[in-house]
Structure 1
Amino acid sequence: MATETWSPAQLPDLYGRTAVVTGASGGLGADTARALAGAGASVVLAVRDPAKGRAVADRIDGATEVGVLDLGDLASVRAFAGAWSGPLDLLVNNAGIMAVPKGRTADGFELHIGTNHLGHFALTNLLLPHITGRVVTVSSGLARIGRIDLADLNWERRGYRPMRAYGQSKLANLLFTLELQRRLEASGSAVRAFSAHPGVAATGLTRSMGRVQSLFVGLGTRLVGQREPAYGALPTLYAATQDLPGGAYIGPGGRGGERPREEQPTPAAADPDLAHRLWDLSEKLTGVVFPE
């Protein structure tokens, strides 16, 4: 039996819906924004570099606008969320950095956890009063190598290892979705939270890696990765539009554009106590809380 394929052409009609896609100035974020706009949604490309965002938006056939958002700066996150008015149907927490040298965000957080997790944590909670539909947070298969160290989340005492720092931040994405869905259900909200991962896909994330790491990742992408880079956006689009239970984790169905499928996260990513404790720490670090 042939495997069923799935493409953005099968998205439902999204006319009248509004979506925010972070990190939409390239890679999977741009592919996600393009597909949502092509299905009729009005899409805000939330990007750090507005010139790059406008260059992408200009090539999208549909309703788009560009918003400035630096997830490594909570002042920028607050400004973006504070300027929002009206309903927001879909928030796609897509932006991310991978295996960068040790550094700090504007607020003093380690770059991976600060950008990939804490920035999106703050953004989501600040926008939640406006969100009417879904929050989709993009994680990674490399979440499996992550370990949450609540006593040293910002790598102040551990020896810094870029891929481990990335893995921790991607595991944090999954735990964030788990606890967010629990809180939404407990509050009686109709909003649902999902997570997704692209499999192995060619994106711009490897540009910060060393030459050896980049060559290794490039080889892995050619051997087991998505045959077309845009296929990496399919799990995100599936989580954003299909009838799924809240909290679902969506991954690729294969390498050739097959229908995405629900996956079971690792035990660490499904630990409700760890998710709750990470949430509490994230509130303390960002000063942003779940809106009651």
Structure 2
Amino acid sequence: MAFPLEVRGLDPVQRRERVRQALQLVRLEGFEDRRPNELSGGQQQRVAIARALVFEPSLVLMDEPLGALDRRLREEMQYEIRRIQRSLGITVVYVTHDQQEAMVLSDRVAVFRRGRVEQIALPETLYEEPERPFVASFIGENNLLRGRVLSVEHDISRVEAGGQIVQAFQVTPCQPGDDVVLAIRPERVSLAPEPALYSNWFEAGIEDIVFLGDHLRLRVSVCGSTDFIIKIPNIVGHGAVLEGDRVQIGWTETDCRALAPDEEELTS
């Protein structure tokens, strides 16, 4: 850890103080005399971060620094890096293929595809307001339905998808006859709603149910798709719905976004 300071010409007293401060930052005080093989994977990763920060840079590039860690350590280190970055107030450019990691760590996220920036925004904006189908599917889980615009009134489009009429918020300008992709988050779909509560209300068949602890993940057939996903809280209970059931589902028009198809779809 002292090597970056040595090559910058700091005297031994300053080097020792900087190393002490860096170890304190990553919560490894008292580990100065440990050998690398005496540290856990998470502790070794903290040493690597301290080594990068010990000379007080204004900008740090992290290129998938947590890729070799197991899931528990990855999650622990994500919050450690977030805490360190905020306590120092430095700029960190963080490269990752893990969407959740990007959401946890970032103030702003840039989504790249084949070397091109698809969208740059706050994590919440990327999740709630994707501008392209690729971004909608890449950041979190999303239901994508392909359809054709029947009519447009103000910002709401009526779209035919799989023989059903879906009302959706118009993200990109479109006209009757245009092809669009509809994006609906699984947690925004309500199970067994009152018909009057939602502008979109359909009957769906349950194809599969997966128990995931805090929620159930339902795969249903609706609007021409057999892979439409719904997430319901575990408080609903295991026996509330069963495979093969016919259920009513619904969602609001503002939770359903009508996006222009990606260029690859238009040319295929």
TM more than 0.5:
no
Per chain length, whose mean CA-contact separation is higher, i.e. which structure has more relative contact order (CA < 8 Å, sep 6+)? 1
TM-score (norm 2): 0.24
Q: In terms of Rg, which structure is larger?
A: 2
